[in-house]
Structure 1
Amino acid sequence: MDRAHNFLFLLDEGFTMQAFSSAVEVLRLLARVIQEPAPGYGAVSFSGGPVRASNGFQLVPDTRLDSIPRDATIVVVAGAGASRTNAPGLTGLVRRLARGGHPVWGVSSGVVRLAEAGLLSGRRVAAHWEDVPYLHEHFPDIQVSPSLFEIDGAIATCAGGQAASDLMLWVVGKSHGTEIAEEIAARLVIDVVRDGRASQRRMLDMRYQTVNPTVFASLRMMRANLFEPVPIAWIAESQRVSQRQLERLFDQEFGQPPSRVYARLRLENAREEVIAGHRPLTEIALDYGFTPDTFARVYKRVFGHAPSLDRPRSRR
């Protein structure tokens, strides 16, 4: 990000106020903690008039469509109703701005508007979990990841909510250094600056959904015992089925045995700690029921790289 970059928030009717304010607050505080000009920011609407947020409050934009700065990054912010409403004028504007050379980002359901504008074809994107079924159904060529945010060239996508802060803090860290990003996070009382590799918890839960009561109860038991794993035989016994029968049920539902599903759930949780970087890898591995060697091997098989590569640079 260029240090003089401007951010212009294009607000859709019913936009999510939390996602908008989470991003803006990072930029506001950036101007307070650095001794140099900070990126400017403003808001614009397609209608040119006030825009109502999903919480009922109205925001009056301070920028007109005919005065968008040439260097502005366009951040489209929408709300949960985006997948149920059409906004051809707004999506057409987004498409024209992208073709005109503006970086275009989608925050919260703004990702839906970027998809409708034809900007996400073939890309890996982050999206709020509520929008995932709509994106899968209408845009099957988009690869939706469980990540909090994804950056692909001039396109950035974000799940929304506090993840908008995470995205902006990551951008600030890249441009101004991690100390500045951590100072801003501290002022926002954010304990951990998460990067895009962190996952939405609800997205992880959606990976293993079932209406089978035995499998559902088994998954609930697994999720309740991520830190101190229990044997699959115990889980089967708690459901009054044999371990073999439980394995057949999991294979029917997910094409995987319960041991692999359980390992994946534990690994996803462990990865959050790996990324945070507060504890040694050996300690994390043992706490989640893995030997250090097994943890490294399975981690690489699932995520494509060794856990050491997910550590913050300062702790590698």
Structure 2
Amino acid sequence: MSTPIRAVQGTSDNMKSQRFVFVLLENFSLLSFAGALDSLRIANMMGGRELYRWIVTSEDGSPIAASSGTVFQVDGDLPELSRDDLVFLVGGINIQDATTKRVLNWLRRESRKGPLIAGLCTAAYTLAKAGLLDGKRATLHWQNQDSFSEEFPEVDLTKSVFIVDGTRITTAGGTSSIDLMLKLIADAHGEDLANSVADQLIYASIRTDQDTQRLSVPTRIGVRHPKLSKVIQIMEQNIEEPISPSVLAKDVGMSTRQLERLFRRYLNRSPKRYYMELRLQKARNLLMQTDMSVINVALASGFASPSHFSKCYRAHYNTTPYRERGAHGSRLSV
């Protein structure tokens, strides 16, 4: 059973409207912002009164661009908060650059007042950088989880579409902000209203904090074979210390030769090759999204030798790890 999100005090009839403070960070995700904001607008419409009100801000009150390049006017700069506010930071690409000292100082100061603070999309990075997620469960977009885990080991990172841990809320990006808002609406004003909002959004399947971000392994690979899916799941969970094909085969009750045939038949590659591609994908994410040294990236991706890592990386991506990093200045880009 998921934890209810704190609402303002009162009964459903006399409850005052709750204020949302949206903080748009440079290159924010328009989908995450629009999904959250429109859910509130529709809740007011379907509820027949102002259940929610909001202001939209940027760091200095200037117009701010989404990752799509669209520029938005805002209501002002970073405001003073009250305990009853719910603050939504909206992240997107280049979140390290958007996580400025001024934003961090504001977060640390205002968080002492006890408001609910949410990070949409990559804004979990900003909350973690401010120290607001230490010892808490959190989530962010699956593509950015490797780099996040390396930088913030004190955060209990999950693969859920959203996470509520006390007064800290994080979402995975994309449409997950809608799932979060529907939960918030249901907790404050009942599931009937939340379902009505979902209907208006043509949102047929409401996810909870128990749902994971990514499609299941069978759906992703286009193959429904339980043993193949199980082996791939084990591989994905053991990147830093790879498991040999013989042990993988034994874990699912097969011989090594049977496992080899299974991969060849459905994925047109050997288990060893598939595993290598998973490890190289993690390495590429870390190179592009973190400042980790190439040697540490190699170790985190299961390569004991930097020279072997470089050789494998070049064979797969047709470039070296060093050149890859030099060619991509943007990090945490969703």
TM-score of the pair, normalised by structure 1:
0.66
In structure 2, give the amino acid aligned to 1:159. Answer: A
In the alignment, which residue of structure 1 is the partner of 2:247?
Answer: 251
In the alignment, which residue of structure 2 is the partner of 1:225?
Answer: 223
In the alignment, which residue of structure 2 is the partner of 1:300?
Answer: none
How far did 1:250 drift? 6.5
- Name the CA distance, whole Å, in 2 between partners of 1:256 and 1:136: 30
- Name the CA distance, whole Å, in 1 between partners of 2:18 and 2:59: 22
* 1:262-300 deviation per Cα after TM superposition (whole angstroms, max 9, x unaligned): xxxxxxxxxxxxxxxxxxxxxxxxxxxxxxxxxxxxxxx
Maintained 8 Å contact 1:80/1:130: no
- Name the CA distance, whole Å, in 1 between partners of 2:77 and 2:97: 27
2:112 aligned to 99, 119, 129, which one? Answer: 99
- SS of 1:71 mapped into structure 2: coil
How far did 1:85 drift? 5.6
In structure 2, give the amino acid aligned to 1:257. Answer: D
- Name the CA distance, whole Å, in 2 between partners of 1:221 and 1:165: 23
- Name the CA distance, whole Å, in 2 between partners of 1:199 and 1:109: 16
Maintained 8 Å contact 1:83/1:134: no
- SS of 1:65 mapped into structure 2: coil
In the alignment, which residue of structure 1 is the partner of 2:127?
Answer: 114
In structure 1, give the amino acid aligned to 2:102. Answer: G
How far did 1:146 drift? 0.6
Aligned-residue sequence identity (percent) comes to 26
- Name the CA distance, whole Å, in 2 between partners of 1:143 and 1:83: 20
- Name the CA distance, whole Å, in 2 between partners of 1:256 and 1:173: 46
In structure 1, give the amino acid aligned to 2:247. Answer: D
- SS of 1:151 mapped into structure 2: strand
Maintained 8 Å contact 1:173/1:179: yes
- Name the CA distance, whole Å, in 2 between partners of 1:100 and 1:86: 21
How far did 1:98 drift? 0.7
Unaligned runs of 5+ in 2: 1-6, 9-14, 232-242, 255-334
* 1:169-207 deviation per Cα after TM superposition (whole angstroms, max 9, x unaligned): 1111111111111111111111111111110116x66xx
* 1:207-236 deviation per Cα after TM superposition (whole angstroms, max 9, x unaligned): xxxxxxxxxxxxx7994333xx4666xx9x
In structure 1, give the amino acid aligned to 2:25. Answer: D
Is 1:172 equivalent to 2:185 in the alignment? yes
- Name the CA distance, whole Å, in 1 between partners of 2:124 and 2:252: 34
- Name the CA distance, whole Å, in 2 between partners of 1:188 and 1:127: 23
Give the 5 Å matches for 1:193-232: 193-201=206-214, 223-226=221-224, 229=225
In the alignment, which residue of structure 2 is the partner of 1:244?
Answer: none
Maintained 8 Å contact 1:250/1:258: no
Aligned residue pair count? 229
- Name the CA distance, whole Å, in 2 between partners of 1:256 and 1:43: 55
In the alignment, which residue of structure 2 is the partner of 1:19?
Answer: 32
Pair 1:250–1:165, CA change in 2 (3 A): farther
- Name the CA distance, whole Å, in 1 between partners of 2:246 and 2:92: 35
Maintained 8 Å contact 2:62/2:77: no
In the alignment, which residue of structure 2 is the partner of 1:42?
Answer: 55
* 1:124-174 deviation per Cα after TM superposition (whole angstroms, max 9, x unaligned): 101111221221111111111110000011111101110000000111111
How far did 1:48 drift? 1.3
- Name the CA distance, whole Å, in 1 between partners of 2:172 and 2:140: 4
- Name the CA distance, whole Å, in 1 between partners of 2:121 and 2:74: 19
Unaligned runs of 5+ in 1: 206-219, 236-246, 261-316
Pair 1:193–1:222, CA change in 2 (3 A): closer
Maintained 8 Å contact 1:11/1:43: yes
Pair 1:28–1:137, CA change in 2 (3 A): same
Pair 1:250–1:87, CA change in 2 (3 A): farther
TM-score of the pair, normalised by structure 2:
0.62
In structure 2, give the amino acid aligned to 1:48. Answer: G
* 1:45-104 deviation per Cα after TM superposition (whole angstroms, max 9, x unaligned): 111111111000111111443465663211111112114665121121111111122211
